[in-house]
Amino acid sequence: AQSVAQPEDQVNVAEGNPLTVKCTYSVSGNPYLFWYVQYPNRGLQFLLKYITGDNLVKGSYGFEAEFNKSQTSFHLKKPSALVSDSALYFCAVRPRNSNQAGTALIFGKGTTLSVSS
Amino acid sequence: NAGVMQNPRHLVRRRGQEARLRCSPMKGHSHVYWYRQLPEEGLKFMVYLQKENIIDESGMPKERFSAEFPKEGPSILRIQQVVRGDSAAYFCASSPGLAGVYNEQFFGPGTRLTVL
Please tell me the predicted confidence (pLDDT) of residue B29: 87
Give A110's contacts in chain B (Cβ within 8 Å): 41-42
Confidence label for B100 from pLDDT (cuts 50, 70 and 90): very low
User: Are B56 and A104 a contacting pair at CB < 8 A?
Assistant: yes
- Give me the mean pLDDT over the B81-98 stretch: 90
How many angstroms separate the Cα of A16 from the Cα of each of A8, A60, A88?
A: 21, 17, 19
Please tell me the predicted confidence (pLDDT) of residue B11: 97
In this complex, the residue of B42, B50, B101 whose CB is nearest that of residue A51 is B101
Please tell me the predicted confidence (pLDDT) of residue B1: 54
**Amino acid letter, residue A111:** T
Best residue of B9, B103, B107, B111 to probe chain A, by most A CBs closer than 10 Å = B103
State yes or no: pLDDT of B106 exceeds 90.
no
Other C-beta atoms lying within 10 Å of the C-beta of residue B47: 24
Is the preceding omega at residue B96 within 30 degrees of 0, hence cis? Answer: no
Q: How far is A117 from chain B (nearest CA, A)?
A: 26
Q: Does A51 touch chain B (CB under 8 A)?
A: yes
C-alpha B61/C-alpha A3 separation (Å) is 20
Please tell me the predicted confidence (pLDDT) of residue A105: 85
Most confident of B56-60, B87-91, B100-104: B87-91
Give B49's contacts in chain A (Cβ within 8 Å): none
State yes or no: pLDDT of B85 exceeds 70.
yes
Please give chain A's pLDDT, 117 residues, in tens.
788 999 999 999 999 999 999 999 998 777 889 999 998 877 889 899 998 888 999 998 999 999 999 999 999 999 999 999 999 999 999 887 655 555 678 899 999 999 999
Interstrand relation of A73-78 and A19-21 (parallel, antiparallel or unpaired):
antiparallel
Please tell me the predicted confidence (pLDDT) of residue B99: 43
Please tell me the predicted confidence (pLDDT) of residue A41: 74
Other C-beta atoms lying within 10 Å of the C-beta of residue A41: 11
Q: How far is A26 from chain B (nearest CA, A)?
A: 16
Of A11-15, B28-32, B96-100, B108-112, minimum mean pLDDT range: B96-100
Give B97's contacts in chain A (Cβ within 8 Å): 101
Please tell me the predicted confidence (pLDDT) of residue B110: 93
Which position has the higher pLDDT, A50 or B42? A50
Best residue of A21, A44, A90 to probe chain B, by most B CBs closer than 10 Å = A44
Q: How far is A91 from chain B (nearest CA, A)?
A: 9
C-alpha A79/C-alpha A62 separation (Å) is 8
Please tell me the predicted confidence (pLDDT) of residue B105: 84
Confidence label for B103 from pLDDT (cuts 50, 70 and 90): low
Q: How far is B44 from chain A (nearest CA, A)?
A: 7
